[in-house]
């Protein structure tokens, strides 16, 4: 590693990675704020990213110029709004190498994963009562004793929905354990993936450990037994170039607000043709083909899964976020973050009493770095950092079982995005040392 | 360090954190509860022993747990405040403590009533940490109510 362990605080904003961070930061008004009387250093982008002007402007412009309900009404504004919504779908799909008809807008990634888990529940319930299902829906019908495989590094959003599905159907939840260095322990994968495995659902990049999981071996095992694969890509889509064709999974879920977009919108992508085999999730207006008092039939996807008036302005705004990221180039975004990650791993490792929870090197690792400090609770570390204007996440990061696996109640997590630079890493490392001094543990 | 941070982590709080009073689970007890702060994973297991009578004496409060300096110090302060007190006295104290913690820093706590617990007024300026300070107190209130509604000893 060529970079120094603790870069000089004088490092100008804008150094490194091929991104012009200094001029890029000007597009994020919030970054000029002071917090607790100090300039904000935002190191919590894994929780939610900040938003550039282009994204804010897109949402406002939609409301000022084109606002109307989509997919209904024949007036000009309704046409414009519908076009804007569908163009946004094409942009977001294109961002991950997908076709727009395979992408459903959801409220967030949590809802996208629930859409899939409820597909299994709804297909199972309807099949048990002999009700009509779309052709090909058998793959979603579960029997008692079928198995769902997750991992011990899942965000609660990719764990609790599957636990609930198991409770309701009699399916059995199994999970892949973790190694001490923060990787999936695939040593017993042949016992974990069985002829009863129906779903393999796992995180692409862990929000707490930073680990990037290679989908290939899990996809191959799943294919061999006919199980479908769900990928939680919340922490990967915003941070690296991705293409669904090379990932090989059946479903991919992610959120908009972690990739410069607004809150209230996420996406579910499904392998071409798969959505058509699925019964609906939320039901009501917009998702029907025809409705009679005796019963209803449902629209083709993706509308089948977008009941009610959707989040049009947010979709348009997310489309603008895609434009911004594409303009910078995802290769550059990724490189930039990896250089900050390397600095962070090296800087924190050089502080006595600090332990990284997760991989300690940058291979197959992203820019969310969790750590614990001997003798200090993460809340107290976070409070001292906050006092210096540094925003980090403290707690279990909605990955409580992962914390337990590593014997820690919680961690402090720093996470990066395009607007961070080496001076932020230096401030973090110095802040952690200050916390140690304040509490007298060093 | 700023004054803000020092007003939160007053020396009394740091003392209780470093030298927790009454920590460790003890026998005998009437009720045991386990409370968790789901936002951060802080946990406390707490036991209470009450005397007989209409306004019993809190004979023992014992606890164990893990958490930040605020939650641990608060449990230690709670032990000192509650141990040997009449239930009605502690309940009034608990109400005053809750009111102070929800005051967003504007409370003017009565030191005669709250003792060392007044040190937590600085914490009340930080909404995310209020739950940490209340964790042990809520656990004791729960344990007392279970003890009172449980079968007579």
Query: What is the average pLDDT across A423-428?
Result: 98
Write down the pLDDT at residue A12: 43
**pLDDT 10s digits, A337-386:** 999 999 999 999 999 999 999 999 999 999 999 999 999 999 999 999 99
A255, A114 in Cβ contact below 8 A? no
Calpha distance B64→A255 (Å, rounded): 39
Q: Does A204 touch chain B (CB under 8 A)?
A: no
Provide the pLDDT confidence category of residue B106 given band limits of 50, 70 and 90.
confident
Task: Please name the residue of chain A whose CA is at the shortest distance from the CA of residue B132.
Answer: A379
Inspect the interface and report whether the beta carbons of B69 and A394 lie closer than 8 Å.
Answer: no
**pLDDT 10s digits, A67-91:** 999 988 789 999 999 999 999 999 9
Closest CA to A158 of A86, A212, A231, A104: A231
Give the gap in angstroms from C-alpha A236 to the nearest C-alpha of chain B. 24
Calpha distance A273→A254 (Å, rounded): 20
Give the gap in angstroms from C-alpha B86 to the nearest C-alpha of chain A. 34
Q: Does B49 touch chain A (CB under 8 A)?
A: no
Inspect the interface and report whether the beta carbons of A439 and B39 lie closer than 8 Å.
Answer: no
Write down the pLDDT at residue A154: 98
Provide the pLDDT confidence category of residue B61 given band limits of 50, 70 and 90.
very high
Write down the pLDDT at residue A14: 44
A93, A242 in Cβ contact below 8 A? no
Provide the pLDDT confidence category of residue B153 given band limits of 50, 70 and 90.
low
Tell me how crowded residue A408 is: count the other CB atoms within 10 A of its CB: 18
How is domain A21-51+329-438 classified at the CATH fold level? 3.90.1150
How is domain A67-326 classified at the CATH fold level? 3.40.640
DSSP letter assigned to residue A277: G
Helix (H, G, I), strand (E, B), or coil: what is residue A58? helix
Task: Please name the residue of chain A whose CA is at the shortest distance from the CA of residue B129.
Answer: A379
Q: Which residues of chain A have a CB within 8 Å of the CB of B42?
A: 379, 409-410
Tell me how crowded residue A297 is: count the other CB atoms within 10 A of its CB: 10
Q: Does B82 touch chain A (CB under 8 A)?
A: no
Question: Which of A39, A47, A376, A377 would you mutate first to test chain B, the one with the most B CBs within 10 A?
Answer: A377
Inspect the interface and report whether the beta carbons of B40 and A383 lie closer than 8 Å.
Answer: no
Q: What are phi and psi of A147, to 5 degrees?
A: -120, 145
Domain that holds residue B69: 3-149
Domain ranges of chain A: 21-51+329-438, 67-326
Omega before residue B28 within 30° of 0, cis? yes
Calpha distance A253→A234 (Å, rounded): 7
Q: Does B40 touch chain A (CB under 8 A)?
A: yes
Provide the pLDDT confidence category of residue A19 given band limits of 50, 70 and 90.
very high
DSSP letter assigned to residue A75: S
Give the gap in angstroms from C-alpha A186 to the nearest C-alpha of chain B. 28
Query: What is the average pLDDT across A408-425?
Result: 97
Q: Which residues of chain B have a CB within 8 Å of the CB of A35?
A: none
Provide the pLDDT confidence category of residue B152 given band limits of 50, 70 and 90.
low
| pLDDT greater than 60 at residue A96 | yes
Provide the pLDDT confidence category of residue B70 given band limits of 50, 70 and 90.
very high
Q: Which residues of chain B have a CB within 8 Å of the CB of A394?
A: 40
Question: Which of A44, A375, A379 would you mutate first to test chain B, the one with the most B CBs within 10 A?
Answer: A379
The residue that leads in pLDDT, B41 or B61, is B61
Inspect the interface and report whether the beta carbons of A395 and B41 lie closer than 8 Å.
Answer: yes
Nearest to B41 among A380, A383, A400 (CB): A400
Give the gap in angstroms from C-alpha B41 to the nearest C-alpha of chain A. 6
Helix (H, G, I), strand (E, B), or coil: what is residue B75? helix
Q: Does A387 touch chain B (CB under 8 A)?
A: yes
Inspect the interface and report whether the beta carbons of B43 and A409 lie closer than 8 Å.
Answer: yes
Task: Please name the residue of chain B whose CA is at the shortest distance from the CA of residue A437.
Answer: B1
Write down the pLDDT at residue A74: 86
| pLDDT greater than 50 at residue A5 | no
Query: For A433, what's the count of Cα atoms within 13 Å in the CB-facing half-sphere?
Result: 13
CATH number at residue B98: 3.90.1010.10
Biggest distance spanned by C-alpha atoms of chain B:
53
Write down the pLDDT at residue A338: 97
Q: Does B19 touch chain A (CB under 8 A)?
A: no
User: In this structure, which long-range contacts are made by residues B18-21, counting pairs with CB atoms below 8 Å and at least 24 apart in sequence?
Assistant: B19/B76, B20/B72, B20/B73, B20/B75, B20/B76, B21/B76, B21/B77, B21/B79, B21/B80
Query: What is the average pLDDT across B54-67?
Result: 95
Provide the pLDDT confidence category of residue A60 given band limits of 50, 70 and 90.
very high
Inspect the interface and report whether the beta carbons of B1 and A434 lie closer than 8 Å.
Answer: yes
Query: For A30, what's the count of Cα atoms within 13 Å in the CB-facing half-sphere?
Result: 12
- ipTM of this complex: 0.89
Ramachandran region, residue A278 (left: φ > 0; alpha: ψ -120 to 50; beta: rest): beta
Q: Which residue shows structure tokens 């935002």?
A: A42
Write down the pLDDT at residue B1: 53
Q: Which residues of chain B have a CB within 8 Å of the CB of A410?
A: 40-42
Q: Which residue shows structure tokens 């594409």?
A: A326
Q: Which residues of chain B have a CB within 8 Å of the CB of A377?
A: 67-69, 72
Question: Which of B6, B13, B40, B129 would you mutate first to test chain A, the one with the most A CBs within 10 A?
Answer: B40
Give the gap in angstroms from C-alpha A440 to the nearest C-alpha of chain B. 10
Nearest to B8 among A378, A383, A396 (CB): A383
Q: What's the whole-model pTM score?
A: 0.93
Inspect the interface and report whether the beta carbons of A387 and B14 lie closer than 8 Å.
Answer: no
Angle between helical axes of A312-328 and A53-61 (0-180°, round to 10): 150
Q: Give the active site residues of A.
A: 398
A6, A424 in Cβ contact below 8 A? no
Query: What is the average pLDDT across A187-211?
Result: 98
Q: Does A380 touch chain B (CB under 8 A)?
A: yes
Provide the pLDDT confidence category of residue A116 given band limits of 50, 70 and 90.
very high
Question: Which of B11, B14, B68 would you mutate first to test chain A, the one with the most A CBs within 10 A?
Answer: B68
Q: Which residues of chain B have a CB within 8 Å of the CB of A36?
A: 2, 4
Query: What is the average pLDDT across A46-57?
Result: 98
Residues 6 or more apart whose Cβ sits within 8 Å of residue B89: none
Domain count, chain B: 1
| pLDDT greater than 90 at residue A2 | no
Q: Which residues of chain B have a CB within 8 Å of the CB of A384?
A: 1, 5
Give the gap in angstroms from C-alpha B88 to the nearest C-alpha of chain A. 33
Nearest to A409 among B8, B41, B69 (CB): B41
A403, A364 in Cβ contact below 8 A? no
Calpha distance A397→A403 (Å, rounded): 9
Kind and range of the H or E run holding A17: none
User: In this structure, which long-range contacts are made by residues B126-131, counting pairs with CB atoms below 8 Å and at least 24 apart in sequence?
Assistant: B126/A383, B126/B8, B128/B39, B129/A379, B129/A383, B129/B8, B129/B68, B129/B70, B130/B101, B130/B102, B131/B37, B131/B39
**Mean pLDDT of the residues in chain B:** 92
Provide the pLDDT confidence category of residue B7 given band limits of 50, 70 and 90.
confident
Query: What is the average pLDDT across A394-422?
Result: 95
**Percent of chain A topping pLDDT 70:** 96
Query: What is the average pLDDT across A233-258?
Result: 98
Residues 6 or more apart whose Cβ sits within 8 Å of residue A232: A109, A113, A154, A155, A157, A158, A201, A202, A203, A204, A253, A254
Q: How many residues does chain A have?
A: 442
Tell me how crowded residue A314 is: count the other CB atoms within 10 A of its CB: 25
**Mean pLDDT of the residues in chain A:** 95
Q: How far apart are the first and last CA of chain B?
A: 52
Task: Please name the residue of chain B whose CA is at the shortest distance from the CA of residue A389.
Answer: B2
């Amino acid at each position: 590693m060529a970079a120094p362990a603790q870069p000089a605080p004088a490092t100008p904003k804008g150094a490194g990675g091929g991104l012009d961070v200094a001029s890029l930061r000007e597009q994020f008004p919030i970054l000029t704020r002071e917090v607790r009387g100090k300039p904000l250093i935002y190191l919590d982008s894994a929780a939610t990213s900040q938003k550039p002007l282009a994204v804010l402007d897109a949402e406002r412009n939609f409301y000022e110029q084109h606002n109307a309900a989509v997919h209904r009404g024949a007036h000009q504004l309704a046409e414009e709004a519908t076009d804007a919504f569908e163009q946004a779908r094409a942009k977001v799909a294109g961002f991950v190498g997908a076709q727009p008809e395979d992408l459903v807008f959801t409220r967030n990634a949590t809802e996208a994963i629930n859409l899939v888990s409820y597909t299994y529940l709804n297909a199972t319930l309807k099949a048990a009562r002999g009700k009509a299902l779309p052709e090909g829906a058998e793959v979603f019908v579960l029997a008692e004793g079928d198995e769902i495989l997750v991992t011990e590094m899942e965000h609660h959003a990719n764990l609790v929905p599957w636990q609930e599905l198991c409770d309701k159907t009699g399916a059995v939840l199994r999970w892949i354990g973790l190694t001490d260095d923060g990787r999936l322990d695939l040593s017993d994968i042949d016992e974990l993936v069985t002829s009863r495995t129906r779903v393999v659902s796992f995180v692409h990049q862990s929000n707490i450990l930073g680990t990037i999981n290679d989908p290939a071996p899990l996809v191959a095992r799943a294919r061999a037994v006919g199980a479908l694969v769900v990928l939680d890509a919340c922490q990967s889509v915003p941070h690296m170039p991705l293409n669904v064709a090379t990932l090989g999974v059946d479903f991919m879920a992610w959120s908009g607000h972690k990739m410069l977009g607004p809150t209230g919108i996420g996406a579910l992508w499904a392998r071409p043709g798969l959505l058509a085999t699925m019964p609906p999730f939320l039901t009501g207006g917009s998702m029907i083909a025809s409705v009679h008092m005796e019963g209803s039939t449902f629209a083709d996807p993706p509308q089948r899964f977008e009941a009610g008036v959707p989040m049009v302005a947010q979709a348009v705004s997310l489309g603008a976020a895609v434009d911004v990221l594409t303009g910078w180039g995802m290769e550059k975004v990724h490189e930039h973050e990896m250089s900050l990650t390397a600095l962070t791993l090296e800087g924190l490792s050089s502080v006595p009493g600090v332990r990284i929870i997760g991989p300690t090197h940058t291979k197959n690792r992203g820019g969310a770095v969790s750590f614990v400090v001997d003798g200090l609770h993460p809340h107290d570390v976070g409070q001292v950092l906050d006092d210096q204007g540094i925003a980090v996440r403290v707690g279990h990061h909605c990955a409580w079982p992962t914390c337990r696996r590593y014997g820690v109640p919680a961690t402090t997590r720093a996470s990066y995005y395009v607007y961070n630079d080496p001076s932020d890493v230096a401030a973090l490392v110095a802040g952690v040392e200050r916390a140690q001094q304040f509490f007298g543990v060093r | 360090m700023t004054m803000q941070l020092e007003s939160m982590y007053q020396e009394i709080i740091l003392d209780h954190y470093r030298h927790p009073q009454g920590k460790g689970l003890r026998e005998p007890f009437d009720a045991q509860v386990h409370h968790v702060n789901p936002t951060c994973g802080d946990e406390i297991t707490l036991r209470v022993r009450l005397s007989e009578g209409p306004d019993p004496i809190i004979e023992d409060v014992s606890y164990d747990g893990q958490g930040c300096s605020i939650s641990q110090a608060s449990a230690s302060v709670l032990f000192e405040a509650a141990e040997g007190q009449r239930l009605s006295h502690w309940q009034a104290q608990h109400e005053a403590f809750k009111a102070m913690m929800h005051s967003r820093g504007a409370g003017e706590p009565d030191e005669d009533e709250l003792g060392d617990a007044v040190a937590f007024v600085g914490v009340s300026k930080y909404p995310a940490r209020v739950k940490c300070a209340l964790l042990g107190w809520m656990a004791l209130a729960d344990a007392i109510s279970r003890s009172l509604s449980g079968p007579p000893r």
